[in-house]
C-alpha cells in the first residue's frame, strides 16, 4: 500500500546567479515528500516576492525517513533578484554544499534547468501551443524533474492522452539518460499498437533526457476500482504481446532485463556487497552496535548467495511458463495509471526495459489490498492466456517474486551509482531492503543466521 507522507520543515539556501542570499527558514510545508517542490516554491516565492525554483536537495535526514518528513534543506534559485535582500559572504561549508558535485543531475543546476525550460518553451511554440505564464515546478529529485506548462490551447486531437480541448497544458519531464529509458521511443512503440494507452509526446530530446508531454486528463488511480483494472491491465498485455510477436520489442534497443541477464546483474551486485562488507566489516552478531539498514547481516548475505545459486533453475521454470520477453513498463503500479473516467492511460516509462512480463504483472501487489490484487492477478493472467494459449501466467507470477525483488535491488543500486552524495538518502537502504524481501519469498530457513 502507498505510504502516507507527513509534513516536513524546510530550510533554503537561496541564490540568484553568482549571488548568495543566505539560509532561509525553517518553513513548514504541508506535503511531506522531499521531492515535492511545489509547496516549497510557493512558500519561498511568497516570502521573497519573486519566482523561484528548487534546484536540488542539499541535505536530508539519513535516519530511514525514505524520502518524506523531517527537516530537509534545499538549494533554491531565485529567477529574479530579490528586492531588498543583500548578498552574503559564502562560507567554505556553504561553498562546498552548493558548489559543483560529481554526478549532479543537469536539471539540478541553474544553467541546466533554465536550458530545459527554454527547450520546452521553444518546443511548445513550434507545436503552436505557446506557454501562458511561468511553468509550475511540481517535483524534483535525483531521478527526475517535472514542470507543468499552461498553454493557450491544447492539441484537441485526442491522440492517446485524452487531453482534448480546454487548454490543459503540457508537462516537461527531465531524467538522466545514463540509466533511464528513452521514454519518447517507448511511448512511440506502445502507441503504434494502442495509441490510446499512452500520453501524447509533444517533443523529445533523448540525449539530454528531456520529454514534453501533452496533459493527460483525470486522476492517478492509486486505488483502482474493478472497472479501472479491466480498463488498463488487458490493454498493456495486448500491446506487450503484439510487440513480442512481431519482434519490435527485441529490436528497440531497450535495456536488457531478460532473466539470464538479470541473474548476472544480481550476482554482480551480491559480489559487490560481499567485497564492500569484507573491506568494512560491520558489527558482528555478538559485537557492539546495531546493524546499519544498508548492510546485510552475515547470515543474510550467505542466504542471498544461496538464493542466487538457485536462480538459474528458477529461470528455467519461468521460461517454461511460455510468456515471451517483451517491452516491460518497469514500474507498473496503479499510481502510473491515469483515467478521466472514460479513457485510461499508462504513464512514466523511465524504468522500461526488454524483459519478462511477469515483472510488470507482480508490481501492483505492493499498492493494493488483497481483494484488488486477486482481481488484478486474475485479469493479467487471463489476458496473457488469451494472447499466448498454453502459457501458464499464474505460475509465472508465483515463481517470479524473488527475482522481482532482486530486480529492484539491482535497479536501486543503479540509482545510487548515478546520483550525487546529497541525494543518496532517498535510496540508501533500498537495495538491501529488496534483497531482504527476496529472501522472505523463499523457504523460511534459508535466511536464518
Question: Could you give the count of Cα atoms lying within 13 Å of 269 in the half-sphere of its Cβ?
Answer: 27
With pLDDT > 70 as the criterion, what percentage of the chain qualifies?
90
Mean model confidence pLDDT for the chain: 91
- Cα angle 418, 279, 429 (rounded to 5 degrees) comes to 45
Structural domains of the chain, ranges and CATH numbers in brackets: 1-99 (3.90.79.10), 104-217 (3.30.200.20), 256-447 (3.90.1200.10)
pLDDT given for residue 3 in this prediction: 47
Judged on CB neighbours under 10 Å (0-12, 13-18, 19+), 172 is buried
pLDDT given for residue 277 in this prediction: 86
Query: Does residue 62 register a pLDDT over 90?
Result: no
Query: Does residue 286 register a pLDDT over 80?
Result: no
Q: Cα–Cα distance between 219 and 233 in angstroms, integer?
A: 17
Q: What is the pLDDT of residues 148-172, one digit of tens each?
A: 999 986 544 333 333 333 357 999 9
Residue predicted with more confidence, 292 or 52: 52
Question: Positive or negative, the Cα torsion across 196, 198, 204, 207?
Answer: negative
List all residues 6 or more positions away from 181 whose beta carbon is below 8 Å from its beta carbon.
254, 255, 330, 349, 350, 351, 352, 353
pLDDT given for residue 446 in this prediction: 47
Q: Cα–Cα distance between 198 and 211 in angstroms, integer?
A: 14
Residue labelled with grid coordinates 525517513: 65
Give the pLDDT band (50/70/90) at residue 2: very low
pLDDT given for residue 291 in this prediction: 59
Amino acid at each position: 500500500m502507498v505510504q502516507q507522507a507527513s509534513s516536513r520543515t524546510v530550510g533554503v539556501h537561496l541564490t540568484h546567479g553568482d549571488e548568495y542570499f543566505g539560509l532561509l527558514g525553517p518553513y513548514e510545508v504541508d506535503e511531506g515528500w522531499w521531492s515535492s517542490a511545489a509547496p516549497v516554491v510557493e512558500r519561498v516565492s511568497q516570502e521573497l516576492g519573486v519566482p523561484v525554483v528548487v534546484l536540488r536537495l542539499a541535505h536530508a535526514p539519513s535516519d530511514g525517513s525514505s524520502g518524506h518528513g523531517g527537516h530537509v534543506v534545499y538549494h533554491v534559485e531565485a529567477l529574479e533578484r530579490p528586492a531588498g535582500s543583500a548578498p552574503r559572504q559564502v562560507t567554505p561549508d556553504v561553498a562546498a554544499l552548493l558548489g559543483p558535485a560529481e554526478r549532479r543531475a543537469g536539471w539540478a543546476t541553474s544553467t541546466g534547468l533554465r536550458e530545459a525550460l527554454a527547450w520546452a518553451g521553444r518546443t511548445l511554440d513550434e507545436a503552436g501551443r505557446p506557454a501562458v505564464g511561468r511553468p509550475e515546478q511540481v517535483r524534483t529529485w535525483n531521478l527526475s524533474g517535472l514542470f507543468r506548462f499552461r498553454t493557450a490551447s491544447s492539441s484537441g486531437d485526442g491522440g492517446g492522452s485524452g487531453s482534448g480541448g480546454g487548454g490543459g497544458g503540457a508537462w516537461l519531464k527531465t531524467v538522466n539518460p545514463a540509466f533511464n529509458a528513452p521514454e519518447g521511443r517507448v511511448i512511440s512503440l506502445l502507441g503504434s499498437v494502442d495509441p490510446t494507452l499512452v500520453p501524447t509526446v509533444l517533443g523529445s530530446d533523448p540525449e539530454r533526457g528531456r520529454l514534453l508531454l501533452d496533459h493527460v486528463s483525470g486522476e492517478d488511480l492509486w486505488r483502482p476500482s474493478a472497472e479501472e483494472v479491466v480498463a488498463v491491465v488487458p490493454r498493456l498485455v495486448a500491446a506487450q504481446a503484439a510487440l513480442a510477436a512481431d519482434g519490435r520489442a527485441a529490436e528497440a534497443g531497450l535495456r536488457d532485463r531478460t532473466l539470464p541477464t538479470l541473474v548476472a546483474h544480481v550476482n554482480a551486485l551480491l559480489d559487490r556487497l560481499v567485497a564492500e562488507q569484507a573491506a568494512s566489516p560491520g558489527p558482528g552478531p555478538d559485537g557492539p552496535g546495531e546493524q546499519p539498514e544498508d548492510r546485510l547481516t552475515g547470515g543474510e548475505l550467505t542466504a542471498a548467495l544461496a538464493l542466487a545459486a538457485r536462480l538459474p533453475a528458477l529461470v528455467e521454470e519461468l521460461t517454461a511458463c511460455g510468456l515471451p520477453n517483451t517491452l516491460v513498463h518497469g514500474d507498473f503500479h496503479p499510481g502510473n495509471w491515469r483515467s478521466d473516467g472514460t479513457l485510461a492511460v499508462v504513464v512514466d516509462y523511465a524504468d522500461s526495459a526488454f524483459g519478462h512480463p511477469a515483472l510488470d504483472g507482480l508490481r501492483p501487489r505492493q499498492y493494493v489490498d488483497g481483494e484488488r490484487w486477486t482481481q488484478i492477478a486474475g485479469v493479467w493472467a487471463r489476458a496473457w492466456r488469451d494472447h499466448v494459449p498454453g502459457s501458464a501466467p499464474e505460475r509465472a507470477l508465483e515463481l517470479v517474486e524473488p527475482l522481482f525483488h532482486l530486480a529492484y535491488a539491482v535497479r536501486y543500486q543503479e540509482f545510487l551509482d548515478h546520483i550525487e552524495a546529497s541525494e543518496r538518502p532517498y535510496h540508501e537502504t533500498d537495495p538491501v531492503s529488496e534483497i531482504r524481501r527476496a529472501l522472505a519469498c523463499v523457504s523460511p530457513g534459508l535466511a536464518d543466521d
